[in-house]
Amino acid sequence: MKLNFLVTTVALLVAFPPPYECRAIEGSSNQPATDPDGERQSPPVLARLGEEYFIRLGNRNQNYLRSPADSFPETSQYSKRALQLQLTQRLLEGKVGNIGRLDGNYALRALDSVERERRSEEPPISLDLTFHLLREVLEMARAEQMAQQAHSNRKMMEIFGK
Amino acid sequence: MSGTSRAQLCFLLLSVTALRGHARFLDIQQDNEISPEGLLSLLSSELKRELPEEFVYRRALRCLDMVAVEGQFTFTAERPQLNCAVFFIGEPSDIISVEYDSVNIDCRGGDFIKVFDGWVMKGEKFPSTQDHPLPLYKRYSDYCDTGVTRPIVRSSQNVAMLFFRLHQSGSSFTVTFRKLINPFPCNVVSQTPEGSFTMIIPQQHRNCSFSIIYPVEIQIGELNLGQHNDLKRSILGCAGSGDFVELLGGNGMDTSKMYPMADLCYSFNGPAQMKVGCDNTVVRMVSSGKFINRVSFQYRLLGHQELQQMKGNSIEDVCLRA
């Protein structure tokens, strides 16, 4: 009797194994070549918007990129928070901006299958942003979130109030 | 069948069902009635969260933007916009879902819309390549390649980004941003400079980081690393340990390029605090997978005076620590 029970248990456990979560496999071999290709010294696309804000596409060329503090010595004037916020808002409205010259590698070209493969091997797109500016937009997003939460709370109160 | 054998069989079946660990719940609508859709949702593997049209939040997207609220966002190019990026952020226990609703761009003309699984700034990624389950090229999802067949892209953590370039004025696209629940958040960017969090890694061989993009004081309340308290191991340092927590500080997003401020490889109760005067402060847990590891901590923003004091006290500027 007990043997029967044991056999049934084993059979059922084999048929319905407890689910384990797949473990993330870590390994340096998985990492693709993220280092910039030495031959492709493509100058980055620069967009100066307000203070210390670049967008860069393509390789990270250390020699080309200067630190924001060096590039814009006038940033010391912008230490006041109100002015910084104003700049941020103007920046977000897109009123300030001089787009630098386009990198040749990213020129307009037809997207055939060869190009698609090459796109996946291209260096990752990145954004040059200071932490200061990132915090500014984060605070604006949080303010929007709280306003939206207040609005939906008000709506719910109206619905329940009826 | 005898009584005992029936009881044994019932117990066995109960145990096997419990082991499967699936859970379902019903959303009960008006009048406490269970709708047919509710019943059907028990059978589907994914519970849909659809809001009625009038409650969906909508607004226009900016070229540089951060979005923390669910809704529908539309970008219309009034002039060529060649370098735009939108950050998405949710609560620590959320993952991001970005769905393309309508896209009017010229892929062949060089336009693109890409979703990145994480945040990337100045070439540095969060989560770092070591801490993310996917290789780098898989973390970029290009609308022009896969957007039509796969219109929904999901992140692995509470942050994601959208990069886009539109050459022609009049081009536009609309995306719906949703937050989905993540029961065991691993990599997190904090939305606030103050708060608290408990990170749990349940027997998984992975590394998890909690990033605070402010200079903060961290107070670790409780650390539970597995079941063994190996004091001998702690004397030698955390280098050989498979399970430990490290406090990192740096001025970039990539945790692998940050400076270790402290590391802890034995369990303890009671607060241990540290001030980290860096732009980015990270609590990172390394887990071997043998144990269930847990760390609870609080953090608060360092004031300007505190930072000045730390600057005055410190000889070297590896960010600042106290």
Point out the domain boundary residue: B126, B158, B181: B181
**What is the SS3 string spanning B6-31?**
HHHHHHHHHHHHHHHCCCCCCCCCHH
Residue A31 DSSP SS3? coil
Q: Looking at the complex, does the CB of residue B137 fall below 8 Å from at least one CB of chain A?
A: yes
Mutate to test the interface with A, among B4, B122, B209 (most CBs of A within 10 A): B122
User: Picking from A54-68, A114-128, B279-293, which range would have the lowest pLDDT averaged per residue?
Assistant: A54-68
The partner residue sitting opposite A137, judged by closest CB among B65, B82, B109, is B65
Q: Looking at the complex, does the CB of residue B161 fall below 8 Å from at least one CB of chain A?
A: yes
Residues B175 and B207 in one domain: no
Q: Does residue A4 have a pLDDT over 90?
A: no
Chain B residues close to A67, C-beta within 8 Å: none
Q: Looking at the complex, does the CB of residue B315 fall below 8 Å from at least one CB of chain A?
A: no
Domain that holds residue B91: 58-181
A131 contacts B279? CB cut-off 8 A? yes
**What is the SS3 string spanning chain B?**
CCHHHHHHHHHHHHHHHHHHCCCCCCCCCHHHCCCHHHHHHHHCCCCCCCCCHHHCCEEECCCEEEECCCEEEEEECCCCEEEEEEEEECCCCEEEEEEEEEEECCCCCCCEEEEECCEEECCEEECCCCCCCCCHHHHEEEHHHHHCCCCEEECCCCEEEEEEEECCCCCEEEEEEEEEECCCCCCEECCCCCEEEEEEEECCCCEEEEEECCCEEEEEEEEEECCCCCHHHHHCCCCCCCCEEEEEEECCCCHHHCEEEEEECCCEEEEEEEEECCCEEEEEEECCCCCEEEEEEEEEECCHHHHHHHHHHCCCCCCCEC
User: Picking from A62-66, B85-89, B314-318, which range would have the lowest pLDDT averaged per residue?
Assistant: A62-66
Q: Does residue B40 have a pLDDT over 60?
A: no
User: Would you mind telling me the total number of residues written for chain B in this entry?
Assistant: 322
Residues B247 and B145 in one domain: no
pLDDT number for residue B17: 65
Distance from CA of B265 to the nearest CA of A (A): 21
- Please say whether the beta carbons of B149 and B173 come within 8 A: no
Q: Does residue A74 have a pLDDT over 50?
A: no
Q: Within 13 Å of residue A132, how many CA atoms lie on the same side as its CB?
A: 15
Q: Does residue B68 have a pLDDT over 90?
A: yes
Q: Does residue B199 have a pLDDT over 60?
A: yes
Residues B245 and B162 in one domain: no
User: How far is Cα B67 from Cα B293, in angstroms, rounded to an integer?
Assistant: 32
Distance from CA of A42 to the nearest CA of B (A): 15
pLDDT interval class at A89 (50, 70, 90): low
The partner residue sitting opposite A32, judged by closest CB among B123, B136, B213, is B136
Q: Which two tokens stand for residue A67?
A: 């630190």
Q: Which residue of A has its CA nearest to B290?
A: A23
Among the listed residues B67, B292, B27, the one whose alpha carbon sits nearest the alpha carbon of residue B177: B67
Q: Looking at the complex, does the CB of residue B108 fall below 8 Å from at least one CB of chain A?
A: yes
Residues B282 and B261 in one domain: yes
pLDDT number for residue B161: 95
Beta bridge partners of B297: B197, B220
Share of chain B above pLDDT 90, in %: 59
Residues B197 and B247 in one domain: yes
pLDDT number for residue B21: 54
In a domain, B69, yes or no: yes
Q: Does residue B310 have a pLDDT over 90?
A: no
pLDDT number for residue B321: 60
Taking residue B141's Cβ as centre, other Cβ atoms within 10 Å add up to: 20
pLDDT number for residue A162: 66
- Of residues A161 and B60, more confidently modeled: B60
Q: Looking at the complex, does the CB of residue B240 fall below 8 Å from at least one CB of chain A?
A: no
Chain B residues close to A23, C-beta within 8 Å: 204-206, 289
Averaged pLDDT for residues B181-197 = 94
- Identify whether B127 is preceded by a cis peptide bond (ω within 30 of 0): yes
Point out the domain boundary residue: B181, B215, B240: B181
Distance from CA of A124 to the nearest CA of B (A): 8
Averaged pLDDT for residues B77-101 = 94
Q: Does residue A90 have a pLDDT over 70?
A: no
* Beta-carbon contacts of residue B139 (< 8 Å; ≥ 6 apart): B116, B117, B118, B125, B132
Point out the domain boundary residue: B181, B212, B236: B181
Domain ranges of chain A: 129-161
Residues B125 and B177 in one domain: yes
pLDDT number for residue A146: 94
Q: Does residue B116 have a pLDDT over 70?
A: yes
User: How far is Cα B116 from Cα B132, in angstroms, rounded to an integer?
Assistant: 12
- Please say whether the beta carbons of B176 and B71 come within 8 A: yes
Task: Please state, rounded to an integer, the average pLDDT across all residues of chain B.
Answer: 85
Q: Looking at the complex, does the CB of residue B121 fall below 8 Å from at least one CB of chain A?
A: yes
pLDDT number for residue B6: 84
Averaged pLDDT for residues B13-29 = 59
Instruction: State in Å, rounded, how far the first CA of chain B is from the last one.
Output: 72
Distance from CA of B296 to the nearest CA of A (A): 23
Mutate to test the interface with B, among A5, A88, A134, A149 (most CBs of B within 10 A): A134
Mutate to test the interface with A, among B57, B82, B278 (most CBs of A within 10 A): B82
Q: Looking at the complex, does the CB of residue B234 fall below 8 Å from at least one CB of chain A?
A: no
* Domain count along chain B: 2
Chain A residues close to B133, C-beta within 8 Å: 24
pLDDT interval class at B52 (50, 70, 90): low
Q: Does residue B283 have a pLDDT over 80?
A: yes
Q: What is the CATH number of the domain that holds B278?
A: 2.60.120.290
pLDDT interval class at B313 (50, 70, 90): confident
Q: What is the pLDDT of residues B145-176, one digit of tens each?
A: 988 888 999 999 999 999 999 999 999 999 99
pLDDT number for residue B315: 67
Beta bridge partners of A128: A54
Question: pTM for this one?
Answer: 0.66
Q: Which two tokens stand for residue A87?
A: 């700049």
Q: Does residue B208 have a pLDDT over 70?
A: yes
In a domain, B28, yes or no: no
The partner residue sitting opposite A24, judged by closest CB among B16, B206, B213, is B206
In a domain, B11, yes or no: no
Q: Which residue of B has its CA nearest to A133?
A: B64
